[in-house]
Amino acid sequence: MVIFRLVFGLLLLAALLCFALYIGTQQRVWLQRGLVVVKWTVLAGLGFFAVIALERLAPLL
């Protein structure tokens, strides 16, 4: 649980840094990198919630 939270937090921090660099430099490469990191953050969050849902469903089966 702690590892998932740490990974999720670090991905969000990386996305914020990429967007801040885009604002500071106006180079589109930082915007594209930020969007890629946000995409992976969303996928990591969905995976995290899927694991939690499966853990809660396991005793019912």
- Dist CA 15 CA 5 (whole Å): 15
Q: Output the pTM of the full model.
A: 0.81
* Spatial contact of 28 and 22, defined as CB atoms under 8 Å apart: yes
Q: What is the pLDDT along the chain (61 residues), one digit of tens a residue?
A: 788 889 889 999 999 999 999 999 999 999 999 999 999 999 988 988 998 999 999 888 8
